[in-house]
Amino acid sequence: MNSDPFEQYEQLALSFEDIVTTKKQDLIQENANMDGRSPCGMMNKFASEASKFYTKTELLSDEAKQAMKDNFIYPHDLDYYATGTTTCAQIPLGKLLQTGFHTGHGFMRTPSDITSAMALATIVFQSNQNMQHGGQSVPAVDFDLAPFVKRTYLKILKRLNSYPLQWTNEEKSKQAWAETERATYQACEAFIHNLNSMHSRGGGQTPFTSINYGTDTSKEGRLLIKNLLLATQAGLGKGETPIFPIQVFKMKKGVNYFADDPNYDLYQLALETTAKRLFPNFSFIDSPFNLAHYNGTPESEVSYMGCRTRVMSNRHGEENSVGRGNLSFTSVNLVKLALTSSSIAEFYHLLNEYSEIIIRQLYDRYLFQAKKQARDFTFLYSQGVWLGGEQLKPDDTLEVILKQGTLSLGFIGLAECLKALTGNHHGEDEESWKLGYEIIQFLRNKMDDAAERYDINYSLIATPAEGLSGKFVKQDQLLFGEIKDITDRAYYTNSFHIPVHYSIRAIDKIRLEGPFHELCNAGHISYIELDGDVRRNVTALDRLVKAMAEHHIGYGSINHPVDHCKVCGYNGLIDEECPSCKSTDEGDFHRIRRITGYLVGDMSKWNSAKMEEERDRVKHGANK
């Protein structure tokens, strides 16, 4: 970033020294899902810092470099920029399982039962994780796996028919379904265990995986959903809460929303599972901006990446999620724009200027990604994970198929931005809320306009800032000092969220954040923080989920303490002492908490900004 090359190399060498000594938590643990102290994690971090250096010096435009240096913008996953990877993909799992696939050596044929199908699903996740720098998700895992539940049933029934049993066909069918249920549960259990134990990216990271489900009303689909939830409730080998896959239960009126809906019982089971294990989260097909894409087919149902990413609109093909994803995203620092401005008019002038810089930077990155060849991402494209990829020859470049993806502008710190502009954030004052909405509407309009100008799927994302929440504020503190309720914490508030430290009723938080979901068409999430053991009050969870639906939340989750004692296996709320074995050693406890959409069972891997944010989180209370 500095014009002096010797100073740049000196800074890089200092970063390497910090990696070797593991002294800087924020450097080695930018991502809580990676163990920066492990040999592979450390090696990856060396590569990451060197790759960022190359990208900054060789690949970014002068205006983008200057905007980064001035702390106004931040291109995410900068270390993967030079590799040409894209961010994430919604995997067409059903298609891959029906046709079979290659992983690099040998062909994986179509599975004959649910056990094999779910084993291969983990291989798909692991293989594709090495092709992209973000997460992998399945849009409708219940519909994708239901055929293999049916195959299991038919295989068992065939075996029963080969025995000299004096059973009626109804008795044989009943026995076959009972055995199918046991096999499906074991397959789901293995699926969850595998996704929490296998590694990708040279052993440095558990695959970042998500699954969407809840709307398949067939006997096979319902059985699959039920056993996924039961296996999640059971936990891992010693009762630990599984952190992957991130699970999203899709809500739909007429399917699982009302008491007489066919999957209402599965929704109730999902609430019980959330109360015990924090997953599943909930998405809402009936929210107007999601319902606009729905035509009654599984493919048209909205699906989310667990962190929040959403891909639906498409200028170059079908408007759904399947086989598509985000290409890259860059965030703007709303707080610094506000602190630099002497008036709201000047703020909008700067916001327009830096939005245009981001639009150009995203397009430059897209052009760089598009020059890569299909052979550079053998699993992602040649196996047809990405829509149309299987039609490419190995030396073909990627322009045609990458147009199906999205380029996204993100933002951080709306709350602190409004504090700087008006003296109140959008949870404190109605006029400030209106200004906040107008600011995010302005950004959405910029993305819609860019989509027209460039004929690319530009979109607006509510940034899932993990490392960035601390990076932006740390530099701003050097310039502005610590300004009360603006720069006096170690983090900026994520996207459009009401600040985590602000006391507000749950229903008011939902009501105030709901309208922003429609504006952020590339992804959004809202959280409610509860206290105590909510397993005893599932009815309260139901009220909160229904409130999210009523206020047009697209994707939401409910946070509450989930602790695990490693000594005796107790699961529940642990204060200073385990209620079961009376251990008081903090090292004996897993404290499961959510960070930017996913769970982490060891908060020692969090960066300092997110640690402080977690400590500041106030409870909204189910009955407030």
Give the per-residue pLDDT at 11. 66
> What are the φ and ψ backbone dihedral angles of 556, each rounded to 5 degrees?
-145, 160
Structure tokens at 134: 């973000």
Give the per-residue pLDDT at 1. 44
Q: How many Cβ atoms are within 10 Å of 580's Cβ, its own excluded? A: 14
Q: How many Cβ atoms are within 10 Å of 449's Cβ, its own excluded? A: 13
Structure tokens at 358: 């981001």
Give the per-residue pLDDT at 560. 87
Q: Are the CB atoms for 110 and 145 separated by under 8 Å?
A: no
- Please name which of 391, 349, 357 lies closest in space to residue 374, comparing C-alpha atoms: 391
10 Å CB burial of residue 604 (0-12, 13-18, 19+) is exposed
Give the per-residue pLDDT at 19. 58
Angle formed by the axes of helices 608-616 and 468-480, nearest 10°: 90
The identity of residue 330, as a single letter, is: T
Place of tokens 């398949």: 216
Characterize the bridge pairing of strands 562-565 and 571-572: antiparallel
Measure Cα distances from 227 to 146, 214, 255, 535, 545 in Å.
Answer: 12, 12, 18, 19, 22
Per-residue burial over 544-558, b if 16 or more Cβ lie within 10 Å, else e, is bbebbbebbbbbbbb
Give the per-residue pLDDT at 141. 98
- Please name which of 335, 217, 220, 232 lies closest in space to residue 276, comparing C-alpha atoms: 232
Q: Are the CB atoms for 254 and 262 separated by under 8 Å?
A: no
Q: Are the CB atoms for 603 and 614 separated by under 8 Å?
A: yes
Q: What is the DSSP string of 178-197?
A: HHHHHHHHHHHHHHHHHHHH
Q: How many Cβ atoms are within 10 Å of 423's Cβ, its own excluded? A: 11
| Architecture in CATH of 36-85+329-561 | Alpha-Beta Barrel (3.20)
d(CA 447, CA 21): 43
d(CA 249, CA 253): 13
The identity of residue 534, as a single letter, is: V
**Left, alpha or beta for 608 (phi > 0: left; psi -120 to 50: alpha)?**
alpha
Q: Give every residue of the chain whose pLDDT is below 50, as ranges.
A: 1-3, 6, 28, 202, 622-624
Q: Are the CB atoms for 533 and 563 separated by under 8 Å?
A: no
Preceding peptide of 280 cis, ω within 30°: yes
Please indicate, yes or no, whether the overall pTM of this predicted structure exceeds 0.85: yes
Preceding peptide of 561 cis, ω within 30°: no
Give the per-residue pLDDT at 199. 77
Q: Which helix (H) or strand (E) holds 414?
A: helix 414-422
Characterize the bridge pairing of strands 73-75 and 107-108: unpaired
Structure tokens at 162: 């080969």
d(CA 228, CA 82): 38
Angle formed by the axes of helices 169-197 and 114-129, nearest 10°: 20
Q: For 339, which DSSP code?
A: H
Q: Which helix (H) or strand (E) holds 273?
A: helix 264-277
The identity of residue 561, as a single letter, is: P
Give the per-residue pLDDT at 24. 58
Q: What residue spans define the domains of the chain?
A: 36-85+329-561, 88-310
Q: For 58, which DSSP code?
A: I
Give the per-residue pLDDT at 34. 56
Q: Which helix (H) or strand (E) holds 27?
A: helix 25-28
- Please name which of 219, 297, 221, 198 lies closest in space to residue 252, comparing C-alpha atoms: 297
Structure tokens at 293: 């894409």
* The 3-state secondary structure of 217-272, one letter per residue: CCHHHHHHHHHHHHHHHHCCCCCCCCCCCEEEEEECCCCCCCCCCCCHHHHHHHHH
d(CA 139, CA 294): 13
Q: For 599, which DSSP code?
A: E
Place of tokens 């385990």: 578
Give the per-residue pLDDT at 17. 64
Structure tokens at 133: 């720098």
Measure Cα distances from 562 to 17, 240, 245, 282, 540 in Å.
Answer: 37, 10, 17, 18, 17
| Architecture in CATH of 88-310 | Alpha-Beta Barrel (3.20)
pLDDT in tens, 513-529: 999 999 999 999 999 99
Angle formed by the axes of helices 219-234 and 141-161, nearest 10°: 100
The rounded Cα 151 to chain-centroid distance in angstroms is: 32
Contacts with 130 (C-beta within 8 Å, 6 or more apart), sequence order: 200, 201, 379
d(CA 355, CA 64): 11
pLDDT in tens, 297-317: 999 999 999 889 999 999 999
d(CA 454, CA 456): 5
d(CA 125, CA 127): 6
